[in-house]
Amino acid sequence: QATSVDRSSHSMDKSITLPPDEIFRNLENAKRFAIDIGGSLTKLAYYSTVQHKVAKVRSFDHTAKVGGETEGDPLYEISMQEEVSARLHFIKFENAYIETCLDFIKDHLVNTDTKVIKATGGGAHKFKDLIEKKLKLRVDKEDEMTCLIKGCNFVLRNITHEAFVYAKHADSEFRFQNTHPDIFPYLLINIGSGVSIFKVESEDTFERVGGSSIGGGTFWGLGALLTKTKRFDELLQLASKGQHTNVDMLVKDIYGGSYGSLGLTGDLIASSFGKSATPDKEFSKEDMAKSLLHMISNDIGQLACLYARLHNLTRVYFGGFFIRGHPVTMHTITYSINFFTKANFVRIFFLMGSSFFCLIHCYFFLLYLDPNQYSWGENYAGSSGLMSTSPDLNPMQRARSGTFDMLEMDRLERQLVNLPLLQDPSSYIPDTVDLSEDALAREYWLYCFEEALDGVVKRAVASQPDLPEAAERAEKFRHKYQHKLQTLRHQPL
């Protein structure tokens, strides 16, 4: 899986006009759109069509010729055909800039056929009047939880490498999962401002079995009070630099070491913020943010473990704005569940594009489409991926936690199905090479791509001899391609 270009590095500012290609793509072919408004973020989806060329190859049968192939007879012929395919675009931005974004939607997405906008999320009620006034459209609200679950089901079935396991000290920290025909039952832990826990048994059978008021909003709110830092990403950055043991009281701080008879190691947190009551001692913002992140993540991990045991579920998916691909958060949740389950009961996965799950189903509902009628795949060139561990390789990326600020999905014109000859598709594991984990194979193929680059550039120029800019465009391609190979060499995600 390749790291895709982060096209989301331009913040919305009320004082500037945003070039369409900075945030939105294919606006000239944009169709209907839908919106999901949360407590702090608004997500927008719109549909467009993309025209591209497809090579059709026709082979010739030479087996019937006497004396073998006649010199000059072609083995095959290639013809180019124009095809039009559908693409879904998903973008998110802060609610603070919703008026600017609504103005932009009005200018570029609303047309004479647009009468209604489908909206979901807790903020849809709050901003309903503003949306209808700005866009001159009627807002139809869809149930948020139904959209969330059905959007999650769709993505787990259709988008390869959506779910992944995080292992901090492994050679490859991220282990991505392939799509699977049998996704039920599972437990979904959605961590937004608070925490909602869902037991999902089938496409239409699910229930909210629990939750907690201690979630992402708690981290943001308490973090702002403790550090005077108001932005969520800045809090995460502080936490990534902090040392929680300066603030938390550990088992060894109480007992001088581990508590063997209870199975407690010395480095286990006995009391979050337990050292902060020390008189005449100052604590750094970084250490307090790290302690707070550990406290909330550990609490959520324990809740997930308890609900998984209560409902006898072994697959647990974590999503929501709080996760955001942030390594410290994912590691703490993983550690917490492994501690309480002894690493042998629950399999946990994190979800890449969970911020858009509500919107995905809301959008399909808007178009009255059956999401299972076609097969879909992520367009990596237009989606933002996990944050690179080597920011110097890509100066366009922001110094922030990994998250999908943008997601794009392309539709195949026919539905892909499991090979019908398989006895049990759910247990079939294809014989593939994962270049994100196999370092030797990855280096071999990257070397092959680098060696072949000169030839590819020459053939590209030769294919358009009448265009004077062909050589310049080919050199730009060479530079970008080499840059991508170097990025993949250092971070194969």
* CATH code, 27: 3.30.420
Strand-pairing partners, residue 164, are 176, 350
**237 lies in some domain:** yes
Same domain, 215 and 302: yes
Same domain, 408 and 481: no
Write out the residue range of the structural domain in which residue 86 sits.
20-54+79-148+356-392+399-412
Pinpoint the alpha helices (H) of 159-266: 216-227, 232-241, 251-255
**297 lies in some domain:** yes
**201 lies in some domain:** yes
- What does each of the 493 residues of the chain score in pLDDT, given as a tens digit? 222 333 333 333 333 344 445 567 788 778 788 999 887 778 889 888 888 777 777 776 656 555 555 556 666 677 788 888 888 888 887 788 888 888 878 888 888 788 888 899 888 888 999 999 999 999 998 889 999 999 999 899 888 888 999 988 776 788 888 887 789 999 999 998 899 999 999 989 999 999 999 999 999 999 999 999 988 889 999 999 999 999 999 999 999 999 999 989 999 999 999 999 888 889 999 999 999 999 999 999 999 999 999 999 999 999 988 887 788 899 999 999 988 887 677 899 999 888 888 888 888 876 656 777 788 888 877 777 654 333 333 333 333 333 447 888 998 877 777 777 888 877 777 777 778 778 888 899 999 999 999 999 998 888 888 888 989 999 999 999 998 898 888 877 6
Q: Is the pTM of this model over 0.85?
A: no
Give yes or no for a contact between 235 and 332, defined as CB atoms under 8 angstroms apart.
no
Same domain, 197 and 335: yes
Same domain, 200 and 333: yes
DSSP structure class, residue 232: H
Same domain, 237 and 171: yes
Same domain, 234 and 302: yes
Q: Which of these, 246, 248, 251, 253, lies nearest to 262 by C-alpha position?
A: 251
Count the domains in the chain: 3
**253 lies in some domain:** no
Same domain, 195 and 324: yes
Pinpoint the alpha helices (H) of 183-322: 216-227, 232-241, 251-255, 285-310
Q: How far is Cα 104 from Cα 146, in angstroms, rounded to an integer?
A: 29
Q: Which amino acid belongs to residue 8?
A: S
